[in-house]
Amino acid sequence: MTMYVFMMFVCGVWVFCSNRKHLLITLLSLEYIVLILYLMIYLYLLEMDYELFFSMVFLTFSVCEGALGLSVLVSMIRSYGNDYFNTFNILQC
Q: CATH fold of 2-87, please?
A: Helix Hairpins (1.10.287)
SS3 for 71-89, per residue? HHHHHHHHHHCCCEHHHCC
Between 86 and 77, the higher pLDDT residue: 77
DSSP 8-class letter at 49: T
Element counts in the chain: helices (H) and strands (E): 3, 0
| Global pTM value | 0.83
Whether pLDDT at 19 is above 80: no
37 near 20, Cβ under 8 Å? no
Q: How do the domains of the chain map onto residue ranges? A: 2-87
- d(CA 1, CA 6) in angstroms, rounded, equals 9
Q: How confident is the model over 46-74, as pLDDT tens digits?
A: 999 888 888 899 999 999 999 999 998 89
Whether pLDDT at 89 is above 80: no
- d(CA 38, CA 23) in angstroms, rounded, equals 23
